[in-house]
Chains A and B, each alone.
Chain A
Amino acid sequence: MEKMAVKSLAHDFSKGLWQENPVSRQLLGMCSTLAITNAVINGVAMGLAVSFVLVFSSLLISLLRKLIPSQVRIASYIVVIASFVTMADRFLAASFPSISKSLGPYVPLIVVNCIILGRAEAFASKNTVARSLIDAFGMSLGYILALLILSAIREVLGSGTILGYKVLGTWFEPWVIMILPPGAFITLGILIALANKIEQRIKLGR
Chain B
Amino acid sequence: MGLATLFISAILINNFVYHYFLGICPFLGISKKIDASLSMGIAVTFVMALTAVVTWPINYWILIPYKLDYLQIVSFILVIASLVQLVEMFIRKTSPPLYQAMGIYLPLICVNCCIMGLALLAALKNYNFAETVVFGVSAGLGFTLAIVLMAAIREQLDLADVPEPLKGAGISLIVTGIIALAFFGFSGMIK
Does B associate with A?
A: yes
Residues on A facing B (Cβ under 8 Å): 27-28, 30-32, 34-35, 74-75, 78-79, 82-83, 85-86, 89-90, 104-105, 108-109, 111-114, 117, 177, 180-186, 188-190, 192-194, 196-197, 200
The smallest beta-carbon distance between A56 and chain B, in angstroms, is 15
B172 & A189 in contact (Cβ 8 Å cutoff): yes
- In the bound complex, residues from chain B placing their C-beta under 8 Å from that of A78 are 77-78, 81
Most buried by A among B77, B172, B174, B177: B177
Is B61 an interface position by the 8 A CB rule? no
- In the bound complex, residues from chain B placing their C-beta under 8 Å from that of A32 are 21
Name 11 extra pairs, CB < 8 A, besides A89-B73, A181-B21, A196-B167.
A27-B28, A31-B22, A31-B117, A82-B73, A83-B74, A86-B71, A104-B124, A105-B121, A180-B184, A185-B173, A185-B177
How many B residues touch the partner, as a band?
Answer: 35 or more
Is B66 an interface position by the 8 A CB rule? no
Is B101 an interface position by the 8 A CB rule? no
- In the bound complex, residues from chain B placing their C-beta under 8 Å from that of A192 are 169-170, 173
Q: Would you list which residues of chain B between 4 and 62 have a CB under 8 Å from chain A? A: 18-25, 28
Say whether chain A's binding surface is mostly helix, strand, loop, or mixed. Answer: helix
A28 & B25 in contact (Cβ 8 Å cutoff): yes
- In the bound complex, residues from chain B placing their C-beta under 8 Å from that of A197 are 165
How far is it, in angstroms, between the C-alpha of A165 and the C-alpha of B79 when the chains are bound?
44
Q: Which of B91-99, B108-116, B152-160 contacts A (4 or more CB under 8 A)?
A: B108-116
The smallest beta-carbon distance between A119 and chain B, in angstroms, is 13
B70 & A90 in contact (Cβ 8 Å cutoff): yes
Is B181 an interface position by the 8 A CB rule? yes
B116 interface neighbour in A89, A112, A184, Cβ under 8 Å: A112
Chain B 128-171 per-residue mask, 1 if CB under 8 angstroms from chain A, else 0: 00000000000000000000000000000000000111110111
Residues on B facing A (Cβ under 8 Å): 18-25, 28, 70-74, 77-78, 81, 111-113, 116-117, 120-121, 124, 163-167, 169-174, 176-178, 180-181, 184
B22 & A181 in contact (Cβ 8 Å cutoff): no
Can you list 19 A-B contacts (CB < 8 A)? A30-B28, A75-B81, A79-B78, A82-B77, A90-B70, A112-B77, A114-B25, A177-B181, A181-B21, A182-B177, A184-B21, A185-B173, A186-B173, A186-B174, A186-B178, A189-B170, A189-B172, A190-B170, A196-B170
B21 interface neighbour in A31, A85, A90, Cβ under 8 Å: A31
Taking A85-B73, A112-B77 as contacts, is the C-beta distance between A181 and B24 under 8 angstroms?
Answer: no
Taking A79-B78, A109-B117, A182-B178 as contacts, is the C-beta distance between A31 and B170 under 8 angstroms?
Answer: no
B23 & A105 in contact (Cβ 8 Å cutoff): no
A30 interface neighbour in B25, B71, B174, B178, Cβ under 8 Å: B25
A34 & B170 in contact (Cβ 8 Å cutoff): no
B116 & A34 in contact (Cβ 8 Å cutoff): no
How far is it, in angstroms, between the C-alpha of A133 and the C-alpha of B32 when the chains are bound?
36
